[in-house]
Structure 1
Amino acid sequence: MRKSIATVSLSGSLTEKLSAAARAGFDGVEIFENDLLASPLTPEQIRDRAADLGLTIDLYQPFRDFEAVPDDVLAGNLRRAGRKFDLMRRLGTDTLLVCSSVSPHAVDDDTLAAAQLRQLAERAHAYGIRVAYEALAWGRHVNTYAHAWRIVEQADHPALGVCLDSFHILARGSDAKGIEDIPGEKIFYLQLADAPLMAMDVLQWSRHHRCFPGQGGLDVASLVRHAVNAGYRGPLSLEVFNDVFRQADAGHTAADALRSLIALEESAGIADLPSPTVPSGVAFAELATSDPEPVAALLGALGFVRTGRHTTKPVELWEQGEARILLNSGTATRREGTALTAIGLETPGPGAAVRRAEALLAPALPRRRTEHDVPLDAVAAPDGTELFFCATGRPGHPDWTRDFPAERASVPAGITGIDHIALTQPWHQFDEAVLFHRSVLGLLPHETVDVADPYGLLRSRALTSGVSGAGDGLRLVLNLAPTSVNQGNRAQHIAFTTGDITDTARRIRAAGTELLSIPANYHDDLDARFEFSPGELDTYRDLGILYDRDEQGGEFRHFYTATVGRICFEVVQRTGGYRGYGAANATIRLAAQRDQRR
């Protein structure tokens, strides 16, 4: 289906918004009236600019507070509409969005509303224009799509139909299945937006917190499916009011918007994409560093050994158990310090994973390699992290470890693998990152968790492979730090698994490496909250081990190393089926890391 986007969904001037929509690959746009009014271009110039970019202008909006009003108000409204029809003819668009009235002049009279909307449609018809009537969720008398359709049906004019807006329908909890009772030819337009589930005034919710489909909690896919079943064949159009999108780069937002529509078509069952090839775990984590000695010393204290060097690049492979770290000293600058720049994802079919990524507009990354280097495909995540699709040791697939001739074997010393990787996202890309990992990689997003940081609020959301995320598959945690924390220092961490956390902590400390110091008040509180075996809590206090227990009795023990550059390491031990990430301890950890940096 054709894909469109409302200019209100993007930041910048109208010309910047049109250019961003065209570069992303949209077919058309809705022109939001304020964007046109603020533009120095004439309507004819806007029409020509859109045409030069390959965009149609699918809708002009909004026209407010028209129906069910006294005769003197109606006369003014019809005069206003006539001016808009002249404008639309110059602009080259044939559909006007009319919102259900919120005016105090409007009365609760469906017959009057239908008669006046018929007058409007009759005048629009003379201009070759259609009127799409939309029920605002906060409309004075008409606030459901079913009510709007009854009025349109009563008005009975070929130039009058309905506009269905997923936010207005789903935010009120309306049953979208009733859409299938509306003739498809009378559904003039379909506007789409998702939103996180929030308990707040619907008007404020709508104006500040909408997001692209797949980024929130509304079932937009089912609504689209019902509209298509009814016979709707018009564009899928995004109308998203979002404070972050209004400030973010328009080109980046437009690309994310189009990805959301492609994924939505798949979810709604109206388009086929290459099936997700869900990663099963982490093949490697790559750290770029201008000074490898501190991080190499830290890895050594954790029990890692350098097992190989890349045949052509300044990259070292460090291993312990199934945990593999690449140290790349050829790409980082001293100003950036040490940072996590790439993740190798164990993928059953790397080729299929690449095809799906390309279908969902994930930018493929070119690689400089010699003819002897193992070929690996990679795409860029929204935050710039490189994601490599790997099939380590799988017959019939290139094995990236061949680029690292063995120097020595790793000796098991407590760490068995990578439990999860936490990535702090730029402030304007958190929702985009969730959609990217959900749609491109097929990961399951879990509920968003808010954590108090000493200088703000940190949002965190985990994504895992598998249906429940309970197994040993891939676990990623996306964090959105407070702006004061996020500027120029986006801390990340890699969490390793161990079967005996106290033994691992003692060994690391014996190697001369200090662990993150945890305040005594924290362990005093643990003593009040949980019962421990004799001496257990004293051990945790001494080693700086944090502890959590879920309602099912699952336990989580973890500690952190010092931060090197923008990376720190966490060591975790899960028992009893614990699925979380120690969110109850995050505030303590963040404060302790702040104190350590001081």
Structure 2
Amino acid sequence: MGSRFIPTIASQSLGRARYHSLDHKLELCQKYGFEAIELFFEDLEAVAKALPASHPALPPGTSFADSTELQESQLAAAEYIHDLCIRRRVQIICLQPFMHYEGRLDSAFHGEAIQELQFWIKLARRLSTDLIQIPSSFLPASQCSGNRGRIVADLRQAAEIGLQNDPPTRFAYEALAWGTHVDTWDAAWSIVLEVDRPNFGTCIDAFNLAGRIFADPASLSGLTRTACEDTQKAISKLRSELPLALEKVFYVEVCDGERLDVPLGPGHEWYDPEQPVRMSWSRNARLFPFEGGGYLPALDILQAVCDAGYTGHVSFELFSRTANRPGGEVAEQHAKRAAVAWKKLAEYMGWSKQQAGIDSEFLGDRRYVGFPWP
């Protein structure tokens, strides 16, 4: 990987798959200087449905274990995407998200998840990536166990399956801010250390980290009651603990989030009683770094990770209502916004011009004003 910071973006950050083709998004990655992507699974599914050789979509409710046609079409899509990326000179750093894996209470569902995981490993190999991201489960507590031993055992099982491959398949465990039982970076970190397998590490996501301990989109202030105190503690812990096992940080994500004018509760247009408030906020209101309306200490978190010695892929993982719209201009707008953000980020962080990777014409005049820590 070398001692540089590699401009990376999640594929859905440029537009959701229902409206925007992966081919076009990869073209934009090449145009705007993003060297790598996190491949969002919905993009692979969309390619599988669009390929002439692909089989038709299966009826709703079809069991994954019995869906050989689905697997064949997705493997063909993975090969096609691999070839696209070679032509566009874009690396795939991971396939994500492998959701709701750990702690499933229903043993039949767990068994099916293992089968699906083994298939994802095949997909990853076709894509020429060795990394699969596992976000913490946000299934209802009635469906997933919070028992730490169970969570560690399930994740260790995944790691050991990955170790059977040559080269091994790696897994990056990430704490979602709305995870049912694992919702903070240090909870995920301690689990990674307890799993204790060389191919099992973490993705540190500045949005999810700050989105849990700093932001509260359901409150009038947009903050938790102990936002600054908890964030300062987290930053201190990042600096002190990451150097002890830095090889476990497989990659880093950074995005900001909008401060809402109205608390996200009943009556808000994004409110959904069937999902956590932070999830509703995350799906609609992420921003690229330095964009107006953002208020998270994402750059303070990124700085702490870099101070701990991290170098490598720094990825923009954006979910936003703006990316979930049709129109030929949408993906281009997001790519240009991301390019502006990366250039500003590289300058703010003091990374060299060669590390920046994106032409200076996209840099505006706006300077970032960091969070005023007390």
TM-score, structure 1 as length reference: 0.46
Equivalent AA in structure 2 for residue 114 of structure 1: V
CA-atom RMSD, angstroms?
2.2
Select which of 241, 254, 258 maps to 1:192: 254
- Note the alpha carbon deviations across 1:237-275, whole angstroms, 9 max, x for none: 0110111233343223212202212211322344479xx
Equivalent AA in structure 2 for residue 83 of structure 1: F
Runs of 4+ in structure 1 deviating by more than 4 angstroms, as ranges, are none
- For 1:36 and 1:169, locate their aligned partners in 2 and report how far apart those are by CA, in whole Å: 27
- For 1:131 and 1:29, locate their aligned partners in 2 and report how far apart those are by CA, in whole Å: 16
Count of equivalent residues:
287
Alignment of 1:373-452 (within 5 A): 436-439=364-367
Query: Compared with structure 1, are the counterparts of its residues 272 and 46 closer, same or farther at alpha carbon in structure 2 (3 Å cutoff)?
Result: closer
Aligned residue for 1:418? none
Is it true that 1:231 corresponds to 2:309 in the alignment?
A: yes
- For 1:252 and 1:196, locate their aligned partners in 2 and report how far apart those are by CA, in whole Å: 18
Higher relative contact order (CA 8 A, sep 6+): 2
State the structure with more CA Rg: 1
Is it true that 1:111 corresponds to 2:119 in the alignment?
A: no
Aligned residue for 1:170? 210
Equivalent AA in structure 2 for residue 249 of structure 1: V
- For 1:100 and 1:125, locate their aligned partners in 2 and report how far apart those are by CA, in whole Å: 21
Select which of 31, 37, 46 maps to 1:38: 46
Select which of 160, 164, 179 maps to 1:139: 179
Alignment of 1:22-33 (within 5 A): 22-33=30-41
Select which of 238, 245, 252 maps to 2:323: 245
Aligned residue for 1:90? 126
Q: Which has the higher helix share?
A: 2
Select which of 328, 346, 354 maps to 1:265: 346
Equivalent AA in structure 1 for residue 34 of structure 2: F
Aligned residue for 2:160? 122
Are the equivalent residues in 2 in contact too, given 1:24–1:251 (CA < 8 A)? no
Secondary structure in 2 matching 1:63: coil
Deviation at 1:73, TM superposition (A): 3.0
Secondary structure in 2 matching 1:221: helix
- For 1:144 and 1:264, locate their aligned partners in 2 and report how far apart those are by CA, in whole Å: 24
- Note the alpha carbon deviations across 1:424-472, whole angstroms, 9 max, x for none: xxxxxxxxxxx83414xx8x79xxxxxxxxxxxxxxxxxxxxxxxxxxx
Deviation at 1:103, TM superposition (A): 2.0
Aligned residue for 1:458? none
Is it true that 1:5 corresponds to 2:64 in the alignment?
A: no
Aligned residue for 1:59? 94
More displaced stretch, 107-116 vs 71-80: 71-80
- For 1:7 and 1:142, locate their aligned partners in 2 and report how far apart those are by CA, in whole Å: 25
More displaced stretch, 259-268 vs 220-229: 259-268
Q: Which has the higher strand share?
A: 1
Are the equivalent residues in 1 in contact too, given 2:38–2:92 (CA < 8 A)? yes
- Note the alpha carbon deviations across 1:274-313, whole angstroms, 9 max, x for none: xxxxxxxxxxxxxxxxxxxxxxxxxxxxxxxxxxxxxxxx
Aligned residue for 2:23? 15
TM-score, structure 2 as length reference: 0.72
Alignment of 1:447-486 (within 5 A): none
Deviation at 1:153, TM superposition (A): 0.8
Equivalent AA in structure 1 for residue 281 of structure 2: W
Select which of 283, 288, 297 maps to 1:212: 288
- For 2:258 and 2:365, locate their aligned partners in 1 and report how far apart those are by CA, in whole Å: 17
Aligned residue for 2:72? none
Aligned residue for 1:587? none
- For 1:43 and 1:73, locate their aligned partners in 2 and report how far apart those are by CA, in whole Å: 25
Equivalent AA in structure 2 for residue 229 of structure 1: D
Unaligned runs of 5+ in 2: 52-76, 215-229, 265-276
Aligned residue for 2:137? 101
Aligned residue for 1:361? 361
Secondary structure in 2 matching 1:361: helix
Aligned residue for 2:59? none
- Note the alpha carbon deviations across 1:206-256, whole angstroms, 9 max, x for none: 000101011111122211111112222220101101112333432232122
- Note the alpha carbon deviations across 1:77-125, whole angstroms, 9 max, x for none: 1111001111111111111110101123211111211111011011122
